[in-house]
Amino acid sequence: MTTRTRILTGITTTGTPHLGNYAGAIRPAILASEDANADSFYFLADYHALIKCDDPQRIQRSRMEIAATWLAGGLDVNRVTFYRQSDIPEIPELTWLLTCVAAKGLLNRAHAYKASVDKNVETGEDPDAGITMGLYSYPVLMAADILMFNAHKVPVGRDQIQHVEMARDIGQRFNHLFGKGKEFFTMPEALIEESVATLPGLDGRKMSKSYDNTIPLFTSAKEMKDAISRIVTDSRAPGEAKDPGNSHLFTLYQAFATKAQEEELRGELLQGLGWGEAKNRLFQLLDGQLGEARERYHQLMSRPSDMEDLLLVGAKKARAVAAPFLAELREAVGLRSFVNQAAAPVAAKKKAAKSSRVLSFREGNSFRFRVLAADGSPLLLSSEFADGKKAGAVIKQLQSGQTLDIRTEAYGFNVWLDGECVAESSAIYADAAQRDAGIEALRVALTPLED
């Protein structure tokens, strides 16, 4: 079976998305999520926002705007895991575990921290003036975002490559200290999409809020048209040939046009099309492509409870991966339950078996059961049975000591009896290693008690 590539992307919630954000990050990510071989995790990086912004209203508004932009742009939440970083409590806990193994020298080399120190030194300030621990340890939080879900690929701009490399360094250090031959963390790779557009702003520089040269994405058609009218062009009059290769207006058009549309406008500019008409062509192109999405965006913004529901569903999916993985990491570093700890491995196994439980319950007109590990975590959920006697007979067979017929499927597993699937794993694990650990825990839980 082909392993699906796990892709993880986050957007910091400090501003209103503009055309450059859409072309450079959101649109390519949505297209990538449609790949059947991709397992995509997209999140609102609202913990990161606290490092950059101390305006609660701005952060809250940005969280809504960015969520609405993803959804209006066509993100299918049934195909991906879409969540808010702050809805996953395992993220800050993992951040602390990683902080405890991250080398200070490594964090000293982080670009953002070094830039802030250099700026302070240039202006005669104390080197650490105004620098918070949030800014300093930002790379560890980003490492936790990536390593929690064992992402294989992390689409980033070139200025973020260092953070992915630091996540690798920190993950390798944790594996070395606590893995005992096991690789807890997958080593992520930065994914640089050379073909993804970096759009110029109104003045020709990179489109950025810091330059105040952005084109609004979903605010209104009028505001978009007004912004386009302010694009800086040369002084060539209508009738004079224009050079498309030196026109950032044409570069913007290229990012959204088909090849045929691009060649048509190129030819007309060479033949003297006026800049005013060229700007109108750009507006018509963008409005045609983004008009429906703009309507969906405003509908979503007017019904925040709908977005809240979708994000909570996404958080539940994300935590189904994060919670069991963090429990494994806590165990690895020694944060273990006193109750389940024993003096020797054999005694520990016996204790786990005695402490595990099988819970039967009724669901509608059917009967089911769960197998719980010694620490109470769910390991197995049965199929539905027509009566309680059938469910009880299956439980008895599973606890009889016979060899279990366990069949893996992706990062989960099923249990079979007499040619019939009778139960499935209670969680979809992050990788094969965690799945195998879950299978071993199930075998221990179902080990018959010794007299």
380, β-bridge pairs? 371, 425
Domains 5-196+303-333 and 357-446 share a fold: no
Write the CATH number of the domain with boundaries 5-196+303-333.
Answer: 3.40.50.620
CA atoms of 436 and 173, how far apart (whole Å):
23
**Residues 6+ positions from 230 with CB-CB distance below 8 Å:** 202
- For residue 319, the SS3 value is helix
Q: Is 12 annotated for ligand binding? A: yes
Domain 199-260 part of CATH 1.10.490.10: no
Single-letter residue type at 396: K
Identify the H or E element spanning 425: strand 420-425
Q: Is 210 annotated for ligand binding? A: yes
CA atoms of 123 and 188, how far apart (whole Å):
38
Residue 153 contacts residue 5 (beta carbons within 8 Å): yes
Q: Is 20 annotated for ligand binding? A: yes
Residue 13 contacts residue 44 (beta carbons within 8 Å): yes
CA atoms of 51 and 14, how far apart (whole Å):
10
Q: Is 208 annotated for ligand binding? A: yes
Single-letter residue type at 166: M
- What angle (nearest 5°) sits at the alpha carbon of residue 316, between those of residues 314 and 319? 110
Domain 357-446 part of CATH 3.10.20.70: no
pLDDT at residue 373, rounded to an integer:
82
DSSP string, 106-119: HHHT-HHHHHHHHH
Tokens of 193: 């999409």
β-pair type (38-45, 189-191) = unpaired
pLDDT at residue 354, rounded to an integer:
46
pLDDT at residue 150, rounded to an integer:
96
Q: Is 145 annotated for ligand binding? A: yes
Q: Is 199 annotated for ligand binding? A: yes
Q: Is 175 annotated for ligand binding? A: no
CA atoms of 8 and 39, how far apart (whole Å):
9
- For residue 426, the SS3 value is coil
pLDDT at residue 429, rounded to an integer:
79
Q: Is 270 annotated for ligand binding? A: no
Tokens of 22: 């859409």
Mean pLDDT by 10 residues, the chain (451 residues): 80 91 86 88 96 94 96 93 97 98 95 95 95 96 98 86 95 93 93 73 89 91 94 93 93 93 95 96 96 96 96 96 95 86 47 64 83 82 88 87 84 88 84 83 74 37
Q: Is 9 annotated for ligand binding? A: no
Distance of CA 216 to the CA centre of its chain: 25
Tokens of 295: 């309507």
**Residues 6+ positions from 108 with CB-CB distance below 8 Å:** 114
Helix%, strand%, coil% for the chain, nearest 5: 50, 15, 35
Q: Is 207 annotated for ligand binding? A: yes
Residue keyed to tokens 């309680």: 388
pLDDT at residue 195, rounded to an integer:
58
Q: Is 206 annotated for ligand binding? A: yes
CA distances to 358, 376, 422, 434 from 384, in Å:
15, 22, 8, 26
CA atoms of 146 and 153, how far apart (whole Å):
9
CA atoms of 42 and 27, how far apart (whole Å):
13
Residue 42 contacts residue 70 (beta carbons within 8 Å): yes
pLDDT at residue 224, rounded to an integer:
94
Tokens of 387: 């009566």
Domain chopping of the chain, boundaries: 5-196+303-333, 199-260, 357-446
Residue keyed to tokens 């020694």: 334
The sign one gets for the Cα dihedral 290, 295, 298, 304 is negative
Question: Nearest-CA neighbor of 70 among 60, 82, 79?
Answer: 82
